[in-house]
Amino acid sequence: MENKSDSEPLLEIKDLWFRFHGSKEYVLKNINLTFQRGEFVLLIGPSGCGKTTLINTINGIIPHVIQGLRKGSVKILGKDVRNMKLAEVSTHVATVFQDPETQFFTLSVIDEVVFGPENLKLPLDEIERRFKFAVKATGIEDLLDKDVMSLSGGQKQRVAIASAMAMMPDILILDEPTTNLDPKGAMEVLRTIANLRKETNALIILIEHRLEEVTKYVDRVLVMNNGEILVEGDPRKVFRNPELLYRIGIRPPWAAEAIVKLKKLGVIDGDFDIPLTPEEAANLIKKLLSDRIKRIGKEQLVFPQEEKEYEDIINKEPVIEIRDLWHRYPDGTIALKGVNLKIHQGEFVGIIGQNGAGKTTLLLHILGILRPSYGEVRVFGKNVLNMSVGELSQRIGLIFQNPDLMLFQNTVWSEIAFGPRNIGIKGKELEQRVRESLEMMRLVGFEKRHPRALSRGQRHRVAVASVLSMRPKIIIADEPTTGQDFGASKKYLELLRELNKAGTTIIVVSHDMDLIARYTKRVIVLKQGRVLIDGPTRAIFSREEILNETHLKPPYVTRIGNGLKEFGLPTVLTLEELISFLASAVLGPEITELKIREVFR
C-alpha cells in the first residue's frame, strides 16, 4: 500500500476542461498537471484567468457546490474528486482564503484550531497531537489565550492556516492569503508558509502576487492565462522570460527583470541563474560588473531639483491644512496624536504606514466624516466641519478601493451625472461635465452600457469619471491597486498622473511601495498616529533605517540599488533609473536613451 502511494502522484489533473452553467466559454482548458507530496507550487496569472476555478476543482467545491460542465479528471491519490464526498475531500485538502474572518467559526484561537479535528470525531489524544503539530508549524504559541477577533490581520491569517494544518491535509491550498494585509502582516504570513515546508510533507499550492517574497521558497511556478497553463517549471527558468509575463499583465520579480534587461542591453553577459530577490540581484551585478563598472559620478548622487521642488511647494496655495489633529475613538484608541501638515495645490502625495498607523482616520477627517477630538482640518481655508457634503464633494473626490462600491446607476451616463445632479447642476452644463469626464476616461461609446456589465478596468474608469464630473480640486485614492493585476494598476495610476499634470492634487494611500515610488513626488510616513518622516519620495526611500522603525521596506528596485551603493549608485526609484545608471556606468554615457527605451518597450 505504502509503495503504491509513493509511486503514484498525490494529485493528478488530466485533460481538465470546465465551464459554468449558462456559459458557453470554458474557464479551464485542457489542464494537465501532476503534483508530488512535499512540493511547494506557486500559481500565478492575471485576474480572471481561472486560478480560483482550478483550485476549486481540487478542493471539491467544483463539482460538489458549484456546478458546471467538467471534462477530464482530478485525482487525489488515484481517486477522482467527483467520486468522493465533499467531507472526504476535506480530509485530504485544506484551503485558506483571502479574508481569514470568513473562515472563523469560534471566538478563541484554541477552539478555532481544534474545530476541524473535532468535527472529524477524532479521539481526544489525536486531536491534541494535531493541535500541537498545527501550533508548532505556524508558530502561534503566543496567540493561544487570545480572542480571534482581537488579533491583527497577519495573526488572524496565521490562525486560519493553523486551523487548516490541524486537519493534517495532504494538500494545502492558499488563495492569496496576504491580499488584505499590510506589509508587516504579509511578511508574518509568508514566513509562516515558508516554515511549513520544514514541518509538513504536504503539497502546498500558493496563489500570491508578492512574487519577490515567495519565489525563493517555491519548487515550481505555474503561469496561467485565459484558462490554460502557459508555462510551468523552476522559478529561475520561468522568470527568464519576463516579456511573456508582461504580455499577460503579470509583473515578474524586479530582480529577474532587471537582470534580463541588463543582459539585453549588453551591460552584463555570460550564463547565470536568474536571481529572484533584490539581494541576489545586487550580488550578481556586483560579481559580474566589479571590474567593468566605472564609478558613477558623485554629482549624480543627489537629485537637487526634486529637493527644491519639495521646498518650493510652500509658495503654492495650501489646499489641505491639518493643525494639531488628535483623534480618540470611543473604545479609547488614540488613532492620531497631534498631526500637523499641509498639502499644496498640484502635489502628488503618497501616504504610507502599517495598518493602525492612522492613514484611514486621517482621510476620514479630511473628508469631514470624523470629528477631531482636538485640532482642526481646513480644506481651501475653510474648516471641514462647517462645510456641507455638497460643498466638500465639489472640492474632494474619493475613489474607493473597490469601484463596485461606487456604482449603483443603470447606465454609465447616469452614473457620471449623479454627483453634479445632486448639487443642482442640470441642462447644458450637466451635459458638458458628463461629456468631458467620458472623454477624459476614454469612455465615449459606453454611455448607455450598464456599469456592472463592464470589465474591472472599465468599472474603475467609470468610478473615476463619476468623481471627475464633480470637478474636484483634490482626489484621494484609497489603496488603488488592491485586488488588481499589474497591468490594470499601471493604467489606473497613469490616469491619476495625467490628472495631476492637469493641476489636480492627488493623495494616494497604499501599501504598494513600488507604486508610491514610481508615481508620487512626496511621501508622508505615518507611525502610530504621528508623522514619522515627510519629504521628497527619493529622500524618504533612501532612509531605510527610519522606514524600518515602522516595519516598512523601500521598493524592491530601490533595494537592488541600495546593494550597489559601493559603486556610487544613488537611490533609484524605478527599474528604468537603475538600468540607465548601470548602463551608462558600464557602457559609457554615450548609451542612448533610445536603446534603453527599446528594452522597456
Partner 1 sequence: MSSYSDYLKALWMGFISLPVILVIIQFLSTQLGLSRFGIFITLYKGTPLTINYIVRWLLLSESEAFRGFNFWAIILTWCVGWLFITDWVRNIKATTLGIFLTYVLYVIYVTLYHRYPLKLVFPSSFTPIIASLIVMILAYTYRRTRKTKSFFDKLREAGIEFPDIYLKLVEIPQKCGHCGALILSNSEYCWKCGEKLGKINV
Binding site for partner 1 (CB under 8 A): 307, 310-311, 313-314, 321, 323-324, 326, 328, 332, 334, 337-344, 373-374, 386-388, 522, 524-525, 527, 530-536, 539-540, 543, 545-546
CB of residue 477 vs partner 1: minimum separation in angstroms?
Answer: 20
The C-alpha atoms of residue 337 and residue 356 are separated, in whole angstroms, by 12
Q: How far is the C-alpha of 211 from the C-alpha of 231, rounded, in Å? A: 16
Q: Which residues are CB-neighbours of 129 under 8 A, at least 6 positions away?
A: none
Task: Give the contacts of 45 (CB within 8 A, at least 6 positions apart).
Answer: 51, 223, 224, 225, 230, 248, 250
For partner 1, the closer CB: 42 or 336: 336
Rounded to a whole number of angstroms, the minimum distance from the CB of residue 406 to partner 1 is 26
Cβ proximity to partner 1, 84 vs 334, nearer residue? 334
Specify the residue, 289 or 387, whose C-beta has the smaller distance to partner 1: 387
Report, in Å, the least distance between residue 340 CB and partner 1.
4
H helix count then E strand count, the chain: 26, 20
CB of 330 to partner 1, least distance (A): 13
Whose cell is 467520486? That residue is 83
Residue 46's beta-bridge partner residues?
Answer: none
3-state SS class at 522: strand
- Alpha helices, DSSP H only, in 290-337? 304-312
The minimum distance between CB 296 and partner 1, in angstroms, equals: 21
d(CA 540, CA 523): 7
Q: How far is the CB of 308 from partner 1 (least distance, A)?
A: 10
H or E element at residue 596: helix 593-600
Nearest distance in Å: CB 282, partner 1: 22
The C-alpha angle with vertex 158 and arms to 509 and 333, in degrees rounded to 5, equals 50
Task: Provide the pairing of β-strand 382-383 with 374-379.
Answer: antiparallel
**Closer residue to partner 1 in complex, CB, 216/337:** 337
Q: Record the cell numbers describing residue 415, joined without a space.
A: 452614473
CB of residue 520 to partner 1, shortest distance in Å: 14
Task: Give the nearer residue to partner 1 in terms of CB position, either 32 or 388.
Answer: 388
Q: What minimum distance in Å lies between the beta carbon of 299 and partner 1?
A: 18
Using CA atoms, how far apart are residues 137 and 122, in angstroms rounded to an integer?
20
Would you list the DSSP string of 106-126?
Answer: SSBHHHHHHHHHHHTT--HHH
Q: Which helix (H) or strand (E) holds 297?
A: none
Radius of gyration of the chain (CA): 26
Q: Which is nearer to partner 1, 465 or 508 (CB)?
A: 508
Q: Which is nearer to partner 1, 296 or 334 (CB)?
A: 334
Cis peptide before 278 (omega within 30 of 0): no
425, amino acid identity? I
C-beta of 32 vs 422, nearer to partner 1: 422
In eight-state DSSP terms, residue 274 is P
> What residue type is assigned to position 97 of the chain?
F
CB of 187 to partner 1, least distance (A): 23
Q: Please say which residue, 387 or 582, places its beta carbon nearer to partner 1.
A: 387
Tell me if residue 405 falls in helix, strand or coil.
helix
**From the CB of 538, what's the least distance to partner 1, in Å?**
10
Dump strand ranges (E) for 442-583: 474-478, 505-509, 522-527, 530-536
| Cell reading at 138 | 505556524
| 366, 397 contact by CB (below 8 A) | no
In angstroms, give the least distance from the CB of 382 to partner 1: 11
Q: Using an 8 Å Cβ cutoff, are 500 and 349 in contact?
A: no
Hey, how many other C-beta atoms are within 10 angstroms of the C-beta on 572? Answer: 26
Q: Which burial class, exposed, middle or buried, applies to 198 when counting CB atoms under 10 A from its CB (0-12, 13-18, 19+)?
A: exposed
Residue 328 or 449: the one with the smaller Cβ distance to partner 1 is: 328
Contact 524, 348 (CB under 8 A): no
Whose Cβ is closer to partner 1: residue 233's or residue 338's? 338
Q: Which is nearer to partner 1, 76 or 531 (CB)?
A: 531
Q: How far is the CB of 334 from partner 1 (least distance, A)?
A: 7
- On whether the CB atoms of residues 163 and 134 are closer than 8 A, the answer is yes
213 neighbors 188 (Cβ within 8 angstroms)? no
Within 8 A by CB and 6+ apart from 493, the residues are 480, 481, 515, 518, 519
Left (φ > 0), alpha (ψ -120 to 50) or beta: where does 48 sit?
left
CB 367, min distance to partner 1, A = 17
- Least separation in angstroms between CB 505 and partner 1: 13
Nearer to partner 1, 252 or 318 (CB): 318
Between 275 and 318, whose beta carbon lies closer to partner 1? Answer: 318
Q: Look at residue 277 and give its three-state secondary structure.
A: coil
If the CB atoms of residues 57 and 542 are measured against partner 1, the closer one turns out to be: 542
